[in-house]
Amino acid sequence: MASAVKTLTILAKIKRYEQQCGCKINFVAQGEGGLTLDGDLSLFKIAAHSHLKSNSYIECLGGVEIGDYFHTGRDLTILSSNHNYNGQAIPYDATYVKKPVTIEDFVWCGSGVKILPGVTIGEGAIIAMGAVVTKDVPPLAIVGGNPAKIIKYRDEQAFNGLKQQKKFY
């Protein structure tokens, strides 16, 4: 019974988020935890065929845009702002430095990925489990580590062939 109540609470929260951001959010419950969208939800956009999983936290002050067929594991964190350490106080003041995050189509993030402000992740990129993405990721790149570094690239011909055949998961 407690599990059913928790599920209803998560679904109600997601419906509220959808009203605030004006987009459909596909949430996949996997274990404990829900979804937290924080900041200015009018700056959050996610395409219809993408999904988010349990324990995901997305901060939207600087704007977050997620393309189509985005897949993620649990515990995704996306930040689009940071404290202003060059402000009027030490270590930082009450202002924020806002930088949008863009995730293009067909991106796959493993569990525990952290994406920092100002990052663009190119089409078809794969982000390995636990990676901390501090800078832009080129299309079709496979990255991992802290900070995330390019490990290799996906096969462009195979990727484009599957895309042309509309073989989407």
Q: Would you please indicate which residues are annotated as catalytic (active-site) residues?
A: 83
d(CA 131, CA 75): 11
CB 24 within 8 A of CB 11: no
Sole residue written with tokens 């802290």:
146
| C-alpha distance from residue 169 to each of 9, 10, 80, 108 (Å) | 28, 24, 27, 11
d(CA 76, CA 55): 7
d(CA 56, CA 72): 9
